[in-house]
Amino acid sequence: MIPPQEASARRREIEDKLKQEEETLSFIRDSLEKSDQLTKNMVSILSSFESRLMKLENSIIPVHKQTENLQRLQENVEKTLSCLDHVISYYHVASDTEKIIREGPTGRLEEYLGSMAKIQKAVEYFQDNSPDSPELNKVKLLFERGKESLESEFRSLMTRHSKVVSPVLILDLISGDDDLEAQEDVTLEHLPESVLQDVIRISRWLVEYGRNQDFMNVYYQIRSSQLDRSIKGLKEHFHKSSSSSGVPYSPAIPNKRKDTPTKKPVKRPGTIRKAQNLLKQYSQHGLDGKKGGSNLIPLEGRDDMLDVETDAYIHCVSAFVKLAQSEYQLLADIIPEHHQKKTFDSLIQDALDGLMLEGENIVSAARKAIVRHDFSTVLTVFPILRHLKQTKPEFDQVLQGTAASTKNKLPGLITSMETIGAKALEDFADNIKNDPDKEYNMPKDGTVHELTSNAILFLQQLLDFQETAGAMLASQETSSSATSYSSEFSRRLLSTYICKVLGNLQLNLLSKSKVYEDPALSAIFLHNNYNYILKSLEKSELIQLVAVTQKTAERSYREHIEQQIQTYQRSWLKVTDYIAEKNLPVFQPGVKLRDKERQIIKERFKGFNDGLEELCKIQKAWAIPDTEQRDRIRQAQKTIVKETYGAFLQKFGSVPFTKNPEKYLKYGVEQVGDMIDRLFDTSA
């Protein structure tokens, strides 16, 4: 049971809480009433505001729509005015631009092209909107006049500023590839940069807006003329330089400034001059021959103009390649891409045809020279053909994209030259074999025949053109292997050819030697020629070339030389036989000689003396140009004769076989030796 005090306390506590709750409830009621009142006031305000907005909207919307319509009308008016201004401007284009078009584009290309753009737009406008308008005809006429002026300006710029490339610059351009010391590339400026830019702009306008390709014809005609004249100028430079100084040269060296020219010999291709120099070297060593009978025109008498023509043509071929490359670079900037190949093809035709025609003339001249047996002239084909074949890869690259007829011109010329070259080689070999024996033209002293020197000189020349000559021979082969011949195959063909020429020469020399009545002179003649051939082979690469197919050639010539020496030595038997031991009388020392024995001894002395004098007189006029061989033959003969005569003199010199010993004992042993030492010496 709860005590009364606690119950009383609990009741008071509950009553206090109840009172507090009642107060809270009263506060909440008051707050709700205030909130209701505020809500009513807000609703009233919003209702009033909504009513006012509706009134405002009803009055503003019509005004807005009216304003919007007015703005649209204003914009339409402005656009209409703008269109009118634009249209009206087309009607003024003719009058605004007529003066500029009439005065032309020279010196004011930018302004001129701007005017042409305006005229073109006017033409397009009238064509679309008023095709029957007289204004269309007016602007069309003005446009055509302007286009013609641009075409004329293009022609004028190309004509005035396209210059022939000087020979000096071309030679520097050519030698630049081979000159290892050259530090600067030689460049060609066909047109000044400002002019080039104007030409490019005009060409692009004519293609894009002018719808005209005639300017491309103008371009290639002008540049074609300059290219052709540049190459012809180089050729004339060679002729003038050769006539004044004998050696064409390029005065400019790439490393040096162009205003300080220095003479610089042009690298000469392998011409006949090298073989002539070899012949001179052999002459210094006593190997040169004297002129004898031969229907070959002597190579050493060859006209230097052939060298000039050959060098000029070779350099013109190189010049064409370089200049054509440069022309294509220029053309690529000016002519549209899809017209470049065709225009370039037309541009190079005159110069290329000129080169090909000159090449065919060389072939024709070679063909005529073969008929005349003038093989020195034919040799001009060799350096030219070699150069053409060396240059062919560059030619092919330059002519990429041109017509097939253009590309085939060089291969056709190469084939013609290979054919005529092979013909020349064949005829030369036949001519060596069939050169007639003309007694009145044979060397009286038995020296080297001109046929021999010419043949060796010709073969020496082939050394500079081994691949070219081998290819000529291979081109005439019909075997399947020849269609894809190797350098080794060509070398073997050339070796076989040289051996054939040498074989023909040897047969002809044997035939010619029979012209001499004296077998000894015949032997000296063959000795001199064989020795000349052998020494010439040894002093050059010919011996290695011969050895490709004939290993024993050198030994064979030495055997022939020795054989002729032995034949010559037999000519002295008629002298030494008089005093040979086997032909001498036998007598007892201290026993008086009988008349018959004395007579025999006299006959022996007289026969020896007369034979010695006769041989020395005859053989002194003979010649052995090779000093070494001459001394060797003299020494060998001197040894034989001195030994035989010495033994004879020792045996009979003191024998009283005559009352006039000075009549028979005319020469001492040393005197005989001195007489033999003067053999083969026309100056003695």
Q: Tell me the pLDDT band of 257, cut-offs 50, 70 and 90.
A: very low
Per-residue pLDDT of 40-83, as tens digits, reads 888 888 888 888 888 787 878 887 777 788 777 777 766 765 56
**Residue that wins the pLDDT comparison between 316 and 296:** 316
Within 8 A by CB and 6+ apart from 630, the residues are 286, 624, 680
Distance CA 665, CA 676 (A): 18
pLDDT single digits (tens) 496-542: 999 999 999 999 999 999 999 999 999 999 999 999 999 999 998 89
Strand boundaries in 153-290, DSSP class E: none
Q: Which of 641, 546, 502, 655 is nearest to 590 (CA)?
A: 655
Distance CA 404, CA 400 (A): 10
The answer, yes or no, to whether residue 427 has pLDDT greater than 90, is yes
What is the token pair recorded at 453? 């020197």
Cα separation, 46 vs 280, whole angstroms: 133
CA angle 352, 357, 362 (to 5 degrees): 125
Distance, in Å, from the CA atom of 269 to the CA atom of 229, rounded to the nearest integer, reads 24
420, pLDDT greater than 90:
yes
Q: Write the CA distances from 120 to 102, 133, 202, 212, integer angstroms.
A: 16, 15, 15, 15
Q: Rounded to whole angstroms, how far apart are CA atoms 306 and 297?
A: 14
Largest CA distance in the chain: 220
Percent of the chain as helix, strand, coil, to the nearest 5: 75, 0, 25
pLDDT, one tens digit per residue, over 87-117 is 666 777 777 788 888 888 888 888 888 888 8
- Position 307 scores a pLDDT of 77
pLDDT above 60 (res 684) = no
Tokens 């460049």, residue? 187
Mean pLDDT of 344-352: 95
Mean of all residue pLDDT scores within the chain: 83
Give the C-alpha separation, 42 to 34, whole Å.
12
Could you give the 3-state DSSP secondary structure of residue 643?
helix
What's the rounded Cα separation, in Å, for the pair 610 and 619? 14
Verdict on whether the full-model pTM lies above 0.75: no
Q: DSSP characters for 497-530?
A: HHHHHHHHHHHHHHHHHTT-SSHHHHHHHHHHHH
One DSSP character per residue, 300-357 reads GG--HHHHHHHHHHHHHHHHHHHHHHHHHHHHHHHS-HHHHHHHHHHHHHHHHHHHHH
Q: Is the pLDDT of residue 388 over 80?
A: yes
pLDDT for the residue numbered 142 = 87
Contacting residues for 351 by C-beta, under 8 A, at least 6 apart: 224, 227, 228, 231, 320, 323, 324
- pLDDT above 80 (res 682): no
Q: List the one residue out of 250, 222, 110, 229 whose CA is nearest residue 156.
A: 222
Gyration radius from the chain CA atoms: 55
Distances (CA, A) of 53 to 24, 40, 41, 49, 235: 43, 20, 19, 6, 104
Per-residue DSSP letter, 165? P
* Residue whose entry in the numeric block shows the structure tokens 């899809």: 338
Q: Which residues contact 242 (CB under 8 A, 6 or more apart)?
A: 248, 304, 305, 308
User: Which of 34-38, 84-88, 219-223, 597-601 bottoms out in mean pLDDT, i.e. has the lowest?
Assistant: 84-88
The better pLDDT of the pair 212, 202 is held by 202
What pLDDT shows up at residue 98?
A: 82
Residue 588 pLDDT class (50, 70, 90 cuts)? low
Amino acid 391: pLDDT: 93
Handedness of CA 32, 37, 41, 44 (dihedral sign): positive
pLDDT at 185: 62
Which tops the pLDDT comparison, 306 or 403? 403
Q: pLDDT of 623-651, one tens digit each? A: 999 999 999 999 999 999 999 999 888 88
Q: Are 623 and 290 in contact (CB under 8 A)?
A: yes
Across 370-438, the runs of DSSP E, i.e. the strands, are: none
Contact partners, residue 253, CB within 8 Å, separation at least 6: 172, 182, 262, 264
Q: Does residue 269 have a pLDDT over 50?
A: no
Please check the confidence at residue 241 and state whether its pLDDT lies above 50.
yes
pLDDT of residue 81: 52
Q: 530 with 446: CB under 8 angstroms?
A: no
Per cent of the chain over pLDDT 90 is: 45
Do the Cβ atoms of 536 and 530 come closer than 8 Å?
A: no
Q: Where would I find the H helices in 539-594?
A: 542-546, 553-569, 573-576
Spacing of C-alpha 570 from chain mean position: 58
Q: What is the pLDDT of residues 150-200, one digit of tens each?
A: 999 999 999 999 989 999 999 998 886 554 444 456 678 888 999 999 999
pLDDT (mean) for 282-300: 45
What's at 301, amino acid-wise? G
Residue 258 has pLDDT above 60, yes or no: no
Amino acid at 519: P
pLDDT at residue 201 tops 80: yes
Count other C-beta atoms under 10 Å from residue 269's C-beta: 20
Of the candidates 113, 111, 187, the residue with the CA atom closest to the CA atom of residue 143: 113
- 298's tokens: 């002597």
Give the pLDDT confidence of 446-503 residue by residue, as tens digits.
Answer: 999 999 999 999 999 888 889 999 988 888 875 444 445 678 888 999 999 999 999 9
